[in-house]
Amino acid sequence: MGHVRSQRHETDGSARMTTSARTLTLRSALAQLGVTGTTLTDDQAARLDSDGYLFLVGLVGAERLVAMQDRIAELQAAEGAAAGHEGGRQQGAAMLADLVNKGEIFESTFTEPPVLAAAHRVVGDLRVNSLNFRAALPGEGHQPLHADWGGPVPEGGFRICNSMWLLDDFTPENGATRVVPGSHRWDRVPADVLDDPTAAHPDEQLLLGPAGTVVIFNAHLWHGGTRNTTDTPRRGMTLSYCRRDEPQQLDQQAYVRKSVYDRLSPAARFVLDV
């Protein structure tokens, strides 16, 4: 995923932050959304710190998962060739962007307490960066190892955290994401040190899990999609958070729809930064 600012476009009523939202702090917003000091276990926090990623198996229940899958299919049919234009496209992948505004089923994703707690642990003073969809197409999907930031950062200076929402089982055959555990702490990016970032890394691991799993990972972790050797797309959503002093991939204030804004709580608006 690229960390770029998207252009503003016309919405059905881009809203301003309310007075109540302005008075919130990140601490109070997280508390109102159910994030506490025990939302992550000590073991989960330690794994996220050391390995750079964390599995939350079964976070998305069966009924909610089907609703997400169905809405994604509706959006793909409706948007056609324009799908993904808000956030950029990738060769060999089907894309959708700006999902925050494209279905009520998606509005609760960015306020999930364990996801928020993990992102806060990684980047500190956070806001939503983007919520997109990517499906590795049959025969496609292989990516070079990369980090979702343009250059190295020292440990503790992390700018971005990602979460992958598995809409299908992620298997060795269908293009599951590969990661190099601990690489977020190396203060290096793959392109600067690897002869061939597209090649297999001796320490890489595949992120495998059943549909409904959410994998949170420090987006400075070296990662990349693998080739989908099956005959069906491998579907997933990517919800990312960045530090509040960094530009969002999608300018949420510019894109937020009034109907969405009105449904969100002040704490959710604060996290979305609208």
Q: How far is CA 271 from CA 47, 130, 159, in A?
A: 24, 12, 15
**What pLDDT, on a 0 to 100 scale, did the predictor assign at position 1?**
43
Task: Give pTM, 2 decimals.
Answer: 0.91
Q: Where are the chain's structural domains?
A: 40-245
**CATH architecture, domain 40-245:** Sandwich (2.60)
pLDDT tens, N- to C-terminus, the chain (274 residues): 443 333 333 344 444 444 455 679 999 999 999 999 999 999 999 999 999 999 999 999 999 999 999 999 999 999 998 888 887 777 889 999 999 999 999 999 999 999 999 999 999 999 999 999 999 999 999 999 999 998 999 988 999 999 999 999 999 999 999 999 999 999 999 999 999 999 999 999 999 999 999 999 999 999 999 999 999 999 999 999 999 999 999 999 999 999 999 999 999 999 999 9
pLDDT given for residue 87 in this prediction: 74
Name the amino acid, one letter, at 190.
Answer: P
Longest alpha-carbon distance in the chain: 53
CA distance 161 to 168: 22
231: left (phi over 0), alpha (psi -120 to 50) or beta: alpha
pLDDT value for 6: 34
